[in-house]
Structure 1
């Protein structure tokens, strides 16, 4: 099995468990609550050093004390990002004052096109608190590995020379104020569901 397929298989299995926890499909399971000793806490996340959409260098340590809500994508994405980013924005608005405890992040998987200026214009379309993060190929590859995000550049020869898109993971990651992984939210979760899951962790 290739590395990409192996990661997808692992994530698929984890998503079944996490979706059951988050959305209550298993009526015999205990209520959802943060579990600092959850073994999944070691599966996702880690240090990163990136550039935010204002041009400032930031690391994961700059967000200590807040929950990090992290989504990976790119500014010319035509499929998943235009669905999930509005859901994140609507979920933040639904939380009201509780949303101040969350640092919502959009991490680029496209180091070629997604400069800070491009990211600034893009994230402004969705929510004023959304933080766009980009970096070099090495920096983005490192953070993608830490979060087990697959990304694959696909050349689009029928669109002209040099045109491409990127196949990428579409999960949303919730990290605790200590930087430890808490849960995953699947693609197209819905704003109401996402807000409900977030509220359980942050309230």
Structure 2
């Protein structure tokens, strides 16, 4: 499983991020963020339901919207079972991704997907707990983009890490992985 996590730790550009450490269990995580409805969310809030988490940002040109579209399709394929999941996009760009910006962005996808953001230190804590890598990459002028781990993390209802769906993985394996996390 560590190999798959390492394989799945791809950034949106410039090649792989070598970060093969498994995420902590939800009960060991200590992050607190704000969702797109401006409510506080803690890792402990997710224990008791299977969880699907993706790290990304709203200015992402390709990987993030593609992944969120994929997640929306998987949720549709899961049918009523999808209602048993916590589903979240955690932003790695707190400077631009406010709760209001995230609300507008996640409205383009399945309504069960929550957008989470926080201060830079709160995002850093969440990334550390999930063992996610990200960094700001300067572009022309004051513009920038974000490199980040691009896998979808799955957790069992008791908070244990279940699996990752890698961005480059054949998409037909995603729903079976999600169903296993739901069991």
TM-score range, shorter chain: 0.7 to 0.9
Partner of 2:53: 70
Q: Secondary structure at the residue paired with 2:62?
A: coil
Structure 1 distance, partners of 2:5, 2:124, is 22
Given that 1:71 and 1:171 are in contact with CA atoms closer than 8 Å, whether structure 2 keeps it comes out as yes
Structure 1 distance, partners of 2:181, 2:157, is 11
Given that 1:87 and 1:188 are in contact with CA atoms closer than 8 Å, whether structure 2 keeps it comes out as no
- Written as runs of structure 1 = structure 2, the 5 A alignment for 1:45-194 is 45=24, 46-157=29-140, 161-189=141-169, 191-194=171-174
- TM value normalised by structure 2: 0.84
RMSD: 2.2
Structure 1 unmatched runs, 5+: 1-9, 19-39
Structure 1 or 2, whichever has the larger Rg, is: 1
The structural deviation recorded for 1:169 is: 0.6
Structure 1 distance, partners of 2:92, 2:6, is 25
Q: Secondary structure at the residue paired with 2:116?
A: strand
Name the count of aligned residue pairs.
Answer: 168
- TM value normalised by structure 1: 0.76
Structure 2 distance, partners of 1:123, 1:16, is 27
Given that 1:84 and 1:188 are in contact with CA atoms closer than 8 Å, whether structure 2 keeps it comes out as no
Higher helix share: 1
Q: Give per-residue Cα distances to partners, 1:137-188, cap 9 Å, x unaligned.
A: 000011111111111111102xxx3100001110110011122211111004
Given that 1:71 and 1:107 are in contact with CA atoms closer than 8 Å, whether structure 2 keeps it comes out as yes
